[in-house]
Amino acid sequence: MSGDGGKLSGAAMASIVVLRVAIGWHFLYEGLVKLTKPGWSAAGYLMQSRGAFSGLFRWLAADASRLARVNSLTMWSLTLVGLGLVLGCFTRFASAAGILLILLFYLCNPPFVGYFYSIPMEGSYLVVNKNLVELTALAVVLTTRSGRVAGLDRIIHRLVGRRSRGE
Amino acid sequence: MSDEDKGGTGAPESPHGRRLDRRDVLLALSTAPALALFGYAWSRQRGYERKLTESVHPARVVPPDLSVINVGLLGVGAQGQVLLDSMLRIPGLRFRAVCDIWKEYNQKRAVNTLRKYKFEVKGYEDHREMLDKEKELDAVVVATPDFWHARHAVDCLEAGKHVYCEKEMSNTIEGARSMVLAARETGRLLQIGHQRRSHPRYLHCHDKLLGEAKLLGRIVTVNGQWNRAVAPDIGFPERYAIPADRLRQYGFKSMEQFRNWRWYKGLGGGPIVDLGSHQIDIYNWFLGAKPSHVMASGGLDYHDPKTHEWYDTVMAVYEYETPAGSARAYYQTQTTNGSQGYFENFMGDEGTLVISESEANYPGFLYRDPNAPAWDEWVRKGYVSAPRVQEARPAGQEMTLDVRESVSPDLHRVPVVLRDPYHQPHLENFFDSIRGTATLHCPAAVGYETAATVLKVNEAVEAKERLSFAPADFEVGA
């Protein structure tokens, strides 16, 4: 941070761009792995849901055609959000969609006191897990418009702005 | 970053009104190399995974002169979709037609899927119209509700098509008989969808472990189960509901019944037929015999009788006279608790085999009885894995066994993994048989024996007594 009135220094903004690309890379890979893995399904993750929303998540997995829609929505959302973040294309929309996705993942399997899951996690968590950390990191990306600094949004924003003024 | 880029939020403050310059383009594309790097890493990872898979499970060699088989799909609901997903992975198939009475949903989905794969397919509601118009079809894959199987399979066979028909072959023994006769009279192939018959793990166990190595010794008892947790009735999108007159025309009273036909008498056979049929088929196959008697207890103990007619809980005991001697086989299916899922457990005087179709649960465990001859030869040949080394317990934590308890047997694994969808090998066997390069693993006559074995359970539940099988029960005759 530059410290002058909340403005970001060049180094701070560059860090946020790197953060955005790293999160995008993660989303993109998660999406593509699911898209290319025959028979991938969110059923296991949904069915072991705990917490206040467990009824909703289990309901999503209970019907085959509903589950199929959830599966394709998950795969494609992850992939497209990942692409958007890596390229800085519609960055704010991609960030918001990413936050919503991770929030759903978090609420489905929240690491609250006394909850345990059959799908093993690679670390130990209490309330805050890597999903929540990634979610808050995306909130930073969402609020700093990094796509207009380094990303396709820089062009999109200017083209749209010029057209709206009839230039 | 320039001053311009240091806005309140770090974004350019006033980007409008300035022409795009080279710097804008460079910054806009500055993260694109990350995508190229991702693509490179992704392709390396895919290559690594492909190599790993091929080393464990060599890719099927596709001959360059593979003849193309024209395929029609008759019934593309949930099970039809499962079969289609498998068939899309099999080379040498050309899909030409899809027939399903749920034009608004199932038929549309399957046609759209196949068109995405560049197949020119036509949709039909009536199977006779499909058979009349699609003269070039070589084979039809039937995955309609059980009570339609006989009519559909016989019509297709008589139209000169080879048929793959989902199990249960029919919900009535008369229906199953008509299918065997039609296959015999037309000379066309009829494969019944007991897909475990083509599963490489089951084939390995049947041919190598039980046949050649006789690892279990004499099998005296068998037990198996398919436990399934309570599930809500299958619903449907209201806007795609089939009109009532069309439902009636095809034998359904309502959309609810159409979607949940497996629970209705006259349409399906209930869980013992739906689930048990797969596994009881394996009892007959692995024991090399058909049962002599069956007794069973069952009932509609849990579900709503307004929407469920068949028994939700069934427990059956078969008696066999196998070539090696008497054997008894227990089977249970219930739909109120999914604990321990599904498996078959064959217990001989020299060992035990627990097997299932699943790669996750019970993918082939073998226990050698401590008094049985060593299995070292079969471990060396790769038929079974080396036994699991028992962990030594730390001093002070040794357990004391009562003198009457048996010593724990060695645990081995069946080293065969199926990486394809479960139905793919059975479908491949069907299409290879059409080409003349294989023989059917579950021809109509075998499917008939299984249908006769399984349908009798519901009779035994109703009769509340031990029923016997006559040898003629398993034969179709002339």
Q: Is the pLDDT of residue B405 over 90?
A: no
Q: Tell me: the pLDDT tens digits for B146-192? A: 999 999 999 999 999 999 999 999 999 999 999 999 999 999 999 99
Q: Is the pLDDT of residue B438 over 70?
A: yes
To the nearest 10°, report the CA torsion of A93, A97, A99, A105. -170
Partner residue facing A149 (CB), from B5, B16, B20: B5
For residue B85, the chain A residues in CB contact (below 8 A) are 38-39
Q: How confident is the model over B376-400, as a mean pLDDT?
A: 71
- CA distance to A24, A65, B78, per residue, from A72 (Å): 19, 11, 17
Instruction: Give the DSSP letter string of B292-303.
Output: EEEEEEEE--SS
Handedness of CA B431, B432, B433, B435 (dihedral sign): positive
CATH architecture of the domain with range B69-196: 3-Layer(aba) Sandwich (3.40)
Instruction: Give the DSSP letter string of B306-366.
Output: TT--S-SEEEEEEEEEETTEEEEEEEEEESS--TT-EEEEEEESSEEEEE-S-SSS-S-EE
- Write out chain A's pLDDT in tens, 167 residues: 444 556 788 999 999 999 999 999 999 999 999 998 877 889 888 988 989 999 999 999 988 889 999 999 999 999 999 999 999 999 999 999 999 999 999 999 898 888 877 665 677 888 999 999 999 999 999 999 899 999 999 999 888 876 666 55
Chain B residues 361-390 within an 8 A CB cutoff of chain A: none
> Interior CA angle at B384 toward B380 and B387, to 5°?
90
Q: Which residue has the tokens 């046949």?
A: B211
pLDDT at res. A1 = 45
Q: Is the pLDDT of residue B3 over 60?
A: no
Q: Tell me: the pLDDT tens digits for B127-145? A: 999 999 999 999 999 999 9
The CATH class, in words, for B199-389+403-420+444-474 is: alpha beta
Q: Is the pLDDT of residue B318 over 90?
A: yes
Chain A residues 47-76 within an 8 A CB cutoff of chain B: 62-65
The residue ranking higher by pLDDT, A157 or B240, is: B240
Sorted by sequence, the CB contacts under 8 Å of residue A58 that are 6+ apart come out as: A46, A47, A49
CB B119 within 8 A of CB B94: yes
Q: Is B47 on the interface with A (CB under 8 A)?
A: no
Nearest CA in chain A to B89: A38
Q: What is the mean pLDDT of chain B?
A: 91
Q: Record the pTM.
A: 0.70
Confidence of residue B400 (pLDDT cuts 50, 70, 90): low
For residue A94, the chain B residues in CB contact (below 8 A) are none
Confidence of residue B381 (pLDDT cuts 50, 70, 90): confident
Chain B residues 283-342 within an 8 A CB cutoff of chain A: none
CB-based contact A62 B232, cutoff 8 Å = yes
CB-based contact A155 B89, cutoff 8 Å = no
For residue A2, the chain B residues in CB contact (below 8 A) are 6
Nearest CA in chain B to A1: B10
Q: Tell me: the pLDDT tens digits for B184-221? A: 999 999 999 999 999 999 999 999 999 999 999 999 99
Cα–Cα distance, A161 to A167 (Å, whole number): 9
Q: Is B38 on the interface with A (CB under 8 A)?
A: yes
CB-based contact A7 B24, cutoff 8 Å = no
Q: How many CB atoms lie within 10 A of CB B251?
A: 15
Q: For the sheet with B410-413, list strands across it.
A: B410-413, B365-368, B351-355, B342-348, B219-227, B325-334, B313-322, B291-299, B467-468
CB-based contact B16 A162, cutoff 8 Å = yes
**Structural domain boundaries of chain B?**
69-196, 199-389+403-420+444-474
